[in-house]
Amino acid sequence: HVSIGGLGDSFYEYLLKAWLMSDKTDEDAKKMYYDAVQAIETHLIRKSSGGLTYIAEWKGGLLEHKMGHLTCFAGGMFALGADGAPGDKTGHHIELGAEIARTCHESYDRTRMKLGPEAFRFDGGVEAIATRQNEKYYILRPEVIETYMYMWRLTHDPKYREWGWEAVEALEKHCRVDGGYSGIRDVYINHENHDDVQQSFFLSETLKYLYLLFSEDDLLPFEHWVFNTEAHPLPILHKDDENKEENQK
């Protein structure tokens, strides 16, 4: 079972971020990341008949045309890794990030609550819609917001802030309860069926990425900080800083 969502997402993300944290000196991580992206494009990325780019999963030798909410982080990853892409592919990686962001936005927009399901499919005549009951829930996940934030910072296309604000309004309307915020059991029905759980990643990731989406670029700027897979900011180890430390010794 090969997935860029659950069970595999952080591995690919950390190949890129190990390279970025090293101030782009870790050539092994760089090569592994771009080789992985090439393999993802070859084996997993497909385009629907309606023109939506998605990342499928590989199961038992067959391609399953399903994309998980967790996989939506990859739009931001592709865009973040665009600067440095081999073979003049920087623009291609940015475009790939933008296409994944659009697909994930569609997964939100095609629900009644404007909040994305846990997984959505591209088969049986449907596109970017959850078809199984056990995939129709939303548990305050951050991955789509995360990609909006990266795409905004890297392109400044206003649609990413517009899409982010749509999510804010949906969260306030459907998820806010007396004690905080709750997940939703089915995002396709008219009435809220809360699961009465506020996941810890809602505070550490979803709200943080929303805050950064509407902040200035000099707040935790990308040239100095890398966010790990749980949105904790880690400093980039600049070569100049290392030289200063050596001189001080």
In a domain, 242, yes or no: no
CA 71 to chain centre: 6
In a domain, 1, yes or no: no
The gap from C-alpha 133 to its chain's centroid, in whole angstroms, comes to 23
Backbone φ and ψ of 86, nearest 5°:
-70, 160
CA distances from 222 to 37, 86, 107, 129, 175 (A): 21, 20, 28, 33, 31
Render pLDDT for 33-50 as a digit per residue (tens, 0 to 9).
999 999 999 999 999 999
Residue 165 lies in a domain: yes
pLDDT tens-digit map of 197-238: 999 999 999 999 999 999 999 999 999 999 999 999 999 999
Mean pLDDT is lowest, of 4-13, 38-47, 65-74, 88-97, for 4-13
Q: Is residue 174 part of a domain?
A: yes
User: What is this structure's pTM?
Assistant: 0.96
Does residue 36 lie in a domain region?
yes
Q: Residue 117 maps to which CATH number?
A: 1.50.10.10
Kindly list the catalytic residues.
Answer: 118
Question: Does residue 155 belong to any structural domain of this protein?
Answer: yes
Q: What is residue 52's three-state secondary structure?
A: coil
**Domain count within the chain:** 1
